[in-house]
Amino acid sequence: MNLHVPVRVGSYTTRGNLFLAPVAGYSDAAFRSICADAGCDLAFTEMVSSEALTRGHLKTEVLLAREDNEPDYAVQLFGSRPETMAAAAVIVAERWRPALIDVNCGCPVPKIVKTGAGSALMRDPERIRAIVAAMTGAVRTPVTVKIRLGWDDSSVNYLEAAAAAVEGGASAVTLHARTRERGYAGTADRRAFFALADALPVPVFASGDLFSAKAAVDILSGGRVAGVMFARGAMGDPFIFSRARAALEGLPEPAETAAERMSVARRHLGLSLRHYGERTACVEFRKQACAYLKGVPGGAELRRLAVGCSTLADYDGFFDAWAAEAARRA
C-alpha cells in the first residue's frame, strides 16, 4: 500500500505527507531547498515575529526568502495579539504568497513565552481561537496551528487547544507531542497523535521523535495521522526524506554515498552564501557541517576543522580533508 499521499489543507493540497518542521536557525531557504530536492513535500520557515513584520523590521525578511526550487512553502508566525497576527498574515500572504500560514503555539524559549506567545498560548486556548479567527478573517491562505501536549504534565490540554484552533478556522493542526516543560527531551507521546487525529475534523500532522523512515511509516500507517514533520532528524540528514518516501511507497530505502553527502553539504553552503554573504554564511554553516558529519567515520577530527571555518577557502580545506578521509576508509 502506498502511504505517500497528498493532504488537503483547506483550499491547498500538499504534494505528499512528508514535511520539514519549522526549526529556528535551520529551516531557511537554503536548507528547505536541499530538502525539496531530497523529496520533502512542504517545508515550514522558522518562526517569524508578527510584531517585527508589522513594524517593517527588514532583518525579518531574510527569514521569508524562498528558493527557486520551492514551489510552495509554509510560513510560521509567532505572537500573542490577534490583530497583530492578522496584520502580519496579510503582509505575508500578499508579499510572499505561502501555501499555508502556521501559528506557533509551542516555542518554550522564555523570551518568547514572557510575551504571551509560543507555548504560553497553550495556557490560553481562547486566545488561540481568537488569533486564528482574526487571521482566517484577514487572509484566504489556509491557517494552521502547531501546538504542544500542554504546558506541563499536570496541564495536558492539546485536545482543547486544538479544538479552539479549529473553532477559529484552522485548516490543520500539528502536534509536537511533548509538553513545554519537557522542551525537546524524552520521547514524544505517539498515542496523542492518534487521539488528536480521531478527535479533529481537520488533518493532524505529527512532530516529535521523527528520526527515521520507519517512524514515518509507523505513524502514517492506518491513515489516521495525515502527515509527519522531520525536525532534528533532518538536520545534516536531508536524505531522511528520500528514505521515508521510499519506505512509504513500499520501495527499498536508498543509502547515500559519502560523495553524495559531501556534495549536498557543499551545495547547502553555496545556497547559504547567496542569502547571507560569505562571513555570516560560513560561520552559520559550522553547525550544519557538524550535523552532516553525524555518523561519518573520522567525524571527530573533521568536526574540529569545521568549527574553525570562517571563509570559503577554509571550507575548501575542510571538504578536501573530508574527501581524503572518505577515500582513506573506502
User: Which CB sits closer to ligand FMN, 240 or 269?
Assistant: 240
CB of 326 to ligand FMN, least distance (A): 28
CB of 317 to ligand FMN, least distance (A): 28
CB of 216 to ligand FMN, least distance (A): 11
CB of 150 to ligand FMN, least distance (A): 15
Sign of CA dihedral 241, 247, 251, 255: positive
Of the residues 107, 282, 290, 309, only one is catalytic, namely: 107
CB of 148 to ligand FMN, least distance (A): 8
**Cα–Cα distance measured from residue 233 to residue 86, given in angstroms and rounded to the nearest whole number:** 32
User: Which CB sits closer to ligand FMN, 3 or 228?
Assistant: 228
**Cα–Cα distance measured from residue 272 to residue 110, given in angstroms and rounded to the nearest whole number:** 29
User: Which CB sits closer to ligand FMN, 107 or 159?
Assistant: 107
CB of 28 to ligand FMN, least distance (A): 11
User: Which CB sits closer to ligand FMN, 176 or 243?
Assistant: 176
Say whether 107 is catalytic.
yes
User: Which CB sits closer to ligand FMN, 186 or 297?
Assistant: 186
CA distances from 132 to 32, 99, 164, 232, 308 (A): 26, 16, 9, 27, 44
CB of 312 to ligand FMN, least distance (A): 25
212 class by beta-carbon count within 10 Å (0-12 exposed, 13-18 middle, 19+ buried): middle
User: Which CB sits closer to ligand FMN, 25 or 297?
Assistant: 25
Chain residues binding ligand FMN by CB under 6 A are 21-25, 46-47, 76, 104, 106-107, 146, 176, 184, 207-210, 231-233
User: Which CB sits closer to ligand FMN, 28 or 322?
Assistant: 28
- Looking at the annotation, which residues are catalytic? 107
